[in-house]
Structure 1
Amino acid sequence: MTDTPREGGYRPGYEVAAEQVLGTSRTVVREAVKILSALGRVRAQKGRGLYVADDEGMLGAGRFASFFLPTDLDHVYMLFEFRRAQETETSRLAARRAAPAELRAIEDAAAVCRRGFETGREDLFNEGDDAFHAAIATASHNMFLQIAVREARRLQAQSAIIGLRGSVGGHAAKAVEEHDAIHQAIRAGDPEAAAHAAAAHIDNTLDDYRKEIQQRLFSSAG
């Protein structure tokens, strides 16, 4: 038995029952299901029925993980290229579109990240870092970028085995200042300054990854 969707929406995992499409021709239903499946909005489970997909299914975002290898340096570097394109644009759009509440969310997340650095708490630093980038994506008012940013950061977290995720050392000190530069540009409504600051942040993070990887390689060789 399926629960009735609330507020006119369907939650992930909701089963689309046959009675919900009564009165509609089978041809129309089949075409609609085909389109929704291609978009990743619904998933058909053989012998069970049709279900609303979770967010990772939207745009096929979750499928990135099927080929991403977190220990492959080429993949990691390509992921940084992807993130640079995403976050440059989300910051640019956020500078144009951010509402007052969204500006506060960006500022609050940056403050959490800074507090994590100052207290040496990796969990707090990482929490603020994730919230900061998510808040900017939200302020872009573009749902496709929001999903893509979230997925790219999830994949980057998987590369912790060779990267700097969780470090609150020198990398974090720079990240805190870079977050502030991005926030100030968005707050000032300067799209190009925001995009430039976001690009610099991703580039500097990649440089730190490279340095850390080289250090580990040399230390293991010795």
Structure 2
Amino acid sequence: MNDTPAAGPALPVQATTGGERKDYRPGYEIVSEQILEYIAAARLAPGDRLPTEVDLAKTLDTSRAVVREAVKILSALGRVRAHKGRGLFVADDEGMLITSRWGGFFRPVDLDHVLMLFDFRKVQETAAASLAATRATPAELRTIELAMQQCRHGVVHGQVEVFNQGDEDFHTAVATASHNTFLLSAVRDARRLQRQSSAIGIHDMLGEGAQAAVEEHEAIFRAIRDGRPDEAAAATAVHLDRTLEDYRREIQRRLFGQTAP
């Protein structure tokens, strides 16, 4: 492990280009890609230290706020880790593999990318829920139920972090109960990518969508508990379709100041 900033190649400066508004890409998304390019070009290994946010901002001729948002994205992806008081480091967990595994850098505010991700999630998670309805053990059912209850507690008490953790645990528990290692891995990877959208502030508050999610989780749980695979899959599809619409509306609102039709 190298605890000193690597003396790698210079980071490319963000280009400013014209074009139609539909081609707009947020600055932090472009900076995220440039940081990944730096890691690859400098041949940094897991545990190596990156330049500070201030240094990155100077090199890229951008603001520290943009760099900070880029770091959030890369942290959600599992490519970097920010240690308070120590700095930024190349991550050493499984997230390092996800970008190449799924064919490129996921754009968390690109509606087409979000749609494709939810299509992928629907295929994996409806299958997982269906299998869980025939394979879940009593202990696994209890884990799913506890995660569902944690989501409800987060909504009732206005605790967004509690809700988010419960949501993560719920979907992971359902995938685990499928007793299919490949489905579990796919669900985890897809949710890691989705957390990039959450990292930029989408779903950083509890609203009607969170309350709907609680009810949808309960429908999924009941179908799994009662051994109804078709209903478990259908309830999962309803949940993911509604969640996608939440993301779609919020992305358009933030980028263009308009509500999706």
CA distance in 2, matches of 1:213, 1:67: 18
CA distance in 1, matches of 2:142, 2:103: 32
State the 1:166 CA deviation: 2.9
> Which of 171, 174, 177 is equivalent to 2:215?
177
CA distance in 1, matches of 2:222, 2:133: 9
Give the count of matched residue pairs. 168
Structure-2 residue corresponding to 1:108: 146
State the 1:65 CA deviation: 7.4
C-alpha deviations, 1:57-108, integer Å up to 9, x for none?
7xx6453374322232211110010011111000000001000000000000
User: Does structure 2 conserve the Cα–Cα contact (< 8 Å) formed by 1:137 and 1:145?
Assistant: yes
Find out whether 1:94 has 2:132 as its counterpart: yes
State the 1:209 CA deviation: 1.5
Find out whether 1:124 has 2:151 as its counterpart: no
Structure-2 residue corresponding to 1:141: 179
CA distance in 2, matches of 1:137, 1:150: 9
User: Does structure 1 conserve the Cα–Cα contact (< 8 Å) formed by 2:133 and 2:226?
Assistant: yes
State the 1:165 CA deviation: 2.7
User: Does structure 2 conserve the Cα–Cα contact (< 8 Å) formed by 1:157 and 1:165?
Assistant: no
Structure having greater relative contact order (Cα 8 Å, sep ≥ 6): 1
3-state secondary structure, aligned to 2:206: coil
User: Greater helix percent: which structure?
Assistant: 1
Q: Structure 1 72/217 Cα, relative in aligned 2: closer, same or farther at 3 Å?
A: closer
C-alpha deviations, 1:21-43, integer Å up to 9, x for none?
xxxxxxxxxxxxxxxxxxxxxxx
When the two structures are superposed, what TM-score results if normalisation uses the length of structure 2? 0.59
CA distance in 2, matches of 1:163, 1:192: 34
Structure-2 residue corresponding to 1:204: 242
**1:145-156, aligned counterparts within 5 Å?**
145-156=183-194
Q: Which structure 1 residue ranges, 5 or more long, are not aligned?
A: 1-12, 14-52
CA distance in 1, matches of 2:134, 2:249: 35
Structure-2 residue corresponding to 1:73: 111
1:142 partner letter: N
User: Does structure 1 conserve the Cα–Cα contact (< 8 Å) formed by 2:111 and 2:248?
Assistant: no
2:207 partner letter: G
CA-based RMSD of the aligned residues comes to 2.4
CA distance in 1, matches of 2:137, 2:244: 30
User: Does structure 1 conserve the Cα–Cα contact (< 8 Å) formed by 2:202 and 2:247?
Assistant: yes
Find out whether 1:193 has 2:237 as its counterpart: no
3-state secondary structure, aligned to 2:227: coil
